[in-house]
Amino acid sequence: MNSVWLDTDPGFDDFVTWLLLEGLPGTRLDGVSVVAGNAPLEHTLANALKISTFLKSGAPVYAGCDRPLVAEQVTSQHLLGESGLSSNGRTLPESTLRARPEHAVDALALHLERTPLTTVVAIAPLTNLALLLRRAPHLARKIERLVIMGGSSDGGNHTAAAEFNIFADPEAAAVVFGSGVPIHMFGLNLTRQVLVTRRHAETLRATGTPAGELLADHLDFYLQIRDPQRNAPMPFHDPVTAVFLARPDLFREVPAAVEIELQGRLTRGMTVCEFRVPRKAPPTAMVAVEADSEGVMAYVMDRLLMFCG
C-alpha cells in the first residue's frame, strides 16, 4: 500500500478531498496535519476532528502551525464564514475526538523517517511543510511526491496576482518550491477548469440520505460564494489533488521553474512559472495545465454518491 499524508486547513473542498482520499485504491491515509489558513487553527483543527469522526477515518490528526513563518495572518473567513466550513443547513456534528499530542511537523517527520516513501497532499498554506524541510532537509528524499493545490500560472484569487494558499504564507511556499521535492502543482489555472454546480448539489440531495443532504447543504453555501442564487458554477479547487492520485490520465502536466514573488507590492505571493525549461531555468515542478473537467467531476460524484449510500 502506498502511504499518503494530508496537510489541510479544512473548508468544504478540503472535506471532499479527505473523503476522496479515504479508501483510495492502493493507498493508505497515514496522517492528517492541520494548519491555519481558511480560518485560525482553532477552527481548522475543530473542523478536521469533525470530518475525521464523520468519515470514520483511521488517520491520526495533528495540530500544526498556527501562523505563517513571517507574514501577518490572513484567512478566508470573509468568504467561508467564521469556522471556514459553513453550511446552508446541516453541519457536521461536534466531535469528542482529540488531536494527537505531537506537533504536526514532528509527527510528519517521524512518519517520513519510518516509511520508505510517502505522497504528501498539501491543500493549505505550506507552513507545516516549510518548517519540516527547514528542520530536517534530509527528509525531502522521503517525500515521493508533493501534490499541491496552490498558486497559478495566470491570475490569482486573493489578489489579482496571488492564489490564497500561497499568499497566506509566501515565505513557506518559497522554501517548499526550492527544496528539490518532486512537486505537482495544481493551481487556479487548472482548478478553474473543474466546475461544481447546483446540479451536483441537487444530485447529492436526491439521495435522501443524511450524508447526501449534509454534503448538499455545504455545497449550497460554497456555491453562494460566487452567486447568491447558486446559478453560477464554482471551481472545485482542492479535490483535483485526490483525483490526480486516482486518475492521472485526466490531467496534463508540463514542467516549469516555479518561483514565489516575495517583494512585489502588487505581486506578493505570485507563483511565477517559467515554462521555457531547461533553456531558461531548471524545472522545479510539474504544473497541471489541462483537465478533463467532465471526467474529474464524474469521478468525484461517483465517489460521493458511493459514500452517501
* Catalytic residue numbers, as ranges: 237
Residue 300 to residue 294: CA distance in whole angstroms: 10
Coil, helix or strand at residue 59: coil
Q: Residue 103 in contact with residue 35, Cβ under 8 Å? A: no
Query: Do the Cβ atoms of 207 and 152 come closer than 8 Å?
Result: no
Q: In this structure, how many other beta carbons lie within 10 angstroms of the beta carbon of residue 154?
A: 11
Q: Which residue has the cell 506537533?
A: 103
Q: Based on C-alpha coordinates, what's the Rg of the chain?
A: 18
**Do 171 and 69 touch, CB atoms closer than 8 A?**
yes
Q: What residues pair up with 195 in beta bridges, in sequence order?
A: 235
Report CA-CA distances (Å) from 274 to 257, 259, 285: 5, 8, 10
Nearest Cα neighbor of 293 from 196, 188, 193 is 193
Count Cα atoms within 13 angstroms, Cβ side, for 158. 27
